[in-house]
Structure 1
Amino acid sequence: MIKYFLASLILMLGAGLGFLAARHQGLSLNWDANAVSEKKPLYYRHPMNPKVTSQTPAKDEMGMDYVAVYAEPPASTAPPPKSGKILYYRHPMGAADTSPVPKKDEMGMDYLPVYEGEQFAPGQIQISPEKIQKLGVTTVTVAKRTLTRSIRALGSIQVDERRVHAVTPKFEGWIQHLYANATGQTIKRGQPLLDIYSPELMTAQQEYLIARQGQRALQQASDQAQDTAARLADNALQRLHYWDIGQTQLQRLQHLEQPLETLLLLSPVNGVVLDKPAIEGMRFMPGELLFRIADLSTVWLLADVFEQDSGVVRPGQTAQVAINAYPNRVFSGKVSFIYPTLATETRTVKVRIELPNGEGLLKPGLYGSVTLTARENKNTPLAVPDSAVIDSGTRQIVLLQRGDGQFEPRAVKLGLQADGYRQVLTGLKAGDEVVTRANFLIDAESNLKSALDSFNSPGADANRVMTETQHGGH
């Protein structure tokens, strides 16, 4: 009996607890249903196109249910509402669109109000840190920098005009024999060029020998007579010397004491025969060109430097020359002269560079490329990277970072360009931060900001009203 009583009691307690649990669950379900029923949707929007909405449940062309849009309760952590006069409403995603009244964008998002006092100074723009990071904005500090500019030009090897010698006789004669008988032949100073016969030379030799004989005959005469005879002999010998007869031949004439039938004409310099009009057996006249000899131990390279680069070329600058015929070698020289004229056809200025040519590798006519180094050492200038400059053709600006996310376009005047940098003449000071990356995007937004500032000014409002009146309000 006791066991039966206990079992009955347990069953009764279980039934009572189940009833209480079921009642509590029913109350909870009813409360949740009431809560859901109280949260009514504002409208229903197309699942794929938020612009299409409906006040009642509907389905799209694919059979999908429209999505219910509920009113979101304000969050407890929301910032306090701003106070002040609302100037206008801007696009929530930063697009170039504003509205004087509340409005929604194409995604159904509310335009954001812009309150009085939130505007920045004219020409400045505010960009959020997230957007700065997304654009990849980088800046650099303006500082003084030594600028080294490399100028490249093309040119060709030429003969040094100061080392060209013409062999021209001072008397009439005939060429008996040629020793230098080929163009391009290398000649040493004092080397015989040709044997010549000349009646004038024969006469000069005879006059010298007669003067020598008279000098010996007057050894017992007065001092005045001896001096006169000596001067006559010296003058005759000196005339032969003026006619480019070598000292060795004059000594031979003094020793033999008889005229030499032919005399040698010697090379005045070391060099190469460039021209040889002389032909064996030909007759020549005084002043006629027989040889043109050039000393090629030093040569010129005449380079054509573009007009915009000519202003930084200076005499004495070091030049590195690469010759096409010797691709593995670099020849070093110096700027010796800048020609005073400009070639109007090519807009270039010729620059003369002297190159030592001890090995004889630099042959006249060879082409080569020149690299000139121009360094701005005087008053080391402020400089900014080339990438920081926005050049529209009529102005040159940089974007100056004014603070966290604030940028301002700054007009600058620039000078020398070198090593990827531009010299800053005016507009910036040392320590300024300028944008070097994504500056074109920021500049576009800055121009938009300036346009919006002018559009929202009181004068612009009056002009806009007048324009709308003239066009019938359309």
Structure 2
Amino acid sequence: MNKNVILFSLASLLAGVLIGYLIFNTSSLNLHENMEHIADHQLWTCSMHPQIMQPEPGDCPICGMDLIPAEAKADGLSPEQFRMTNNALALANIHTMVVGNSQENTDNTVSLSGKIAINQETEAVQASHFDGRIERLNINYEGQEVKKGQLLATIYSPELVAAQQELLTSISLKESQPQLYQAVRNKLKLWKLSDNQISRIESSGKVQTNFPIYATVSGTVSEVMGIEGNYVKKGQPIAKVSNLNTVWAEFDAYEGQLSQFKKGQQVSITTNAYPNKKFEGEVSFIDPVLNSSTRTVTIRSTLKNQNNIFKPGMFVTAKIKAVNKSLDQKKLYVPSTAVMWTGKRSLVYIKVKADEPIFEMREVLLGSRKDEQIEIKSGLSVGEEIVTHGTFTVDAAAQLQGKKSMMNKTVSKTMIGNERYLGMQESKNSNSSIPMMKMELPEAFQRDFKAIFPTYLNLKDALVASDAKLTVTNAKATMDILKKLDLSGMGSMEKTHLNKSIEMLEAITQKEELENQRNHFVILNENVVAIASSLNSLEDTLYVQQCPMANNNKGAKWISKDTEIRNPYFGEAMLKCGSIINMLK
């Protein structure tokens, strides 16, 4: 009996051990698999630089501290996505639209921007007919009306005085040497003296010291080229006179639009001065030479200028029916306010989910521009929802959350380290070599905008010197210049960059605190550099420089007139930190 009990007990013990082994071994295997699964998705971050994310433990690439496990995300967002609150959306007045849902161009017209110019075919140069000094100039300003035969200037000419002496001497030889007499008269006629003027000199017997220059045409003075008291040469212009009964309306067409135009096409023109009036014309000239800097061609229409309605320099808009009726059938257009331009990239923000405020930055390739619409060649698809108003606010939210943004280009390897995931996303959504579309800036705006560079450079130097008070002074001077700029003819996107620049300068002036000033200087430069990069020319070469450690290690740029690096974001602490990333000639 005892033996049976012992055997039964041993059998039960062995069975329990076996069952326990099987149970715990299976759990161990499952736990091991779960740990491997967790390890595959565990990310490591730096306690001092939370934007650093790596797939494995190690050292922070910025400060060298040991990485710690990052908290697992419970929101289900990818590393490039971020969430905003509904309250923030409402306060910032952020608007979105679905790409492809905008009203289509049913009449197949192309809109072009341009301005009124003088009809050069009616322009006449009023010149001096002989060497001399301008004793009196009767035309003093551009826009002055002149009539044919009106006195323009009075000139003293030593050689004309000598020629008159010859005439008076030849009168006594008129009978004996008529050929000599006639030769002297013809010489005076070559200097545009009339027969009546020559006859008066003969009858008076006196030399005339000052001679008049009369207008040969009627019109409006478009340029005064002479100065009272200056010496002029024979044939030297004194003034340009234009007949403004007809004017040219000149428009810029992009290279990709040229196939849509031909001479004789009807043009419907509107002006800012008379927005409720339409003026009809036709294409009279297509420039055979492409402007290599703007990649545009001039399209011209000649207009009758009744009652002087059209003023040279006036901004106008034309609508022309395209030759190719399939011009825009397969093209995607978005509002220009949806696009942010940086030194090398064009960016939009995608609303990832229709019912949730989740966003993601996307780089796009731009095409031609029509009014306030910009063609998207790649980077967007029909049906995607994009931010059209409040784009800069969304970008600021991305920066605060350490996400890919306008000022933080590289999120892949640095931010996450997971090449399999984010590398795929980058190749799908972005292209670092995509060229930035050049802004359309009127010539007058470009000329006046250049006036900010001296004060801007002083502002930058004040931050280099860590002088908060001087920074305020120069920021105010720069802001005052920008506020006076004429924005006529500028698109919404260009105005947005300018207004954002003014907003940042105003923020800098309101607080004499260096850290605050430098934070606003970051965003100021993103906008100023974008505008400066679109200027056709500069008087002096400027350098766009960048510090990779500024703006919480996201990088920040500035403009300098020197190649030497003098960092405005750190001053003496890191004066030489940075490099030249672009040159503005």
Q: Which TM-score band (shorter chain)? A: 0.3 to 0.5
Q: TM-score, normalised by structure 1?
A: 0.43
The one of the two structures with greater contact order (alpha-carbon pairs below 8 A, sep at least 6) is 1
Q: Larger C-alpha radius of gyration, 1 or 2?
A: 1
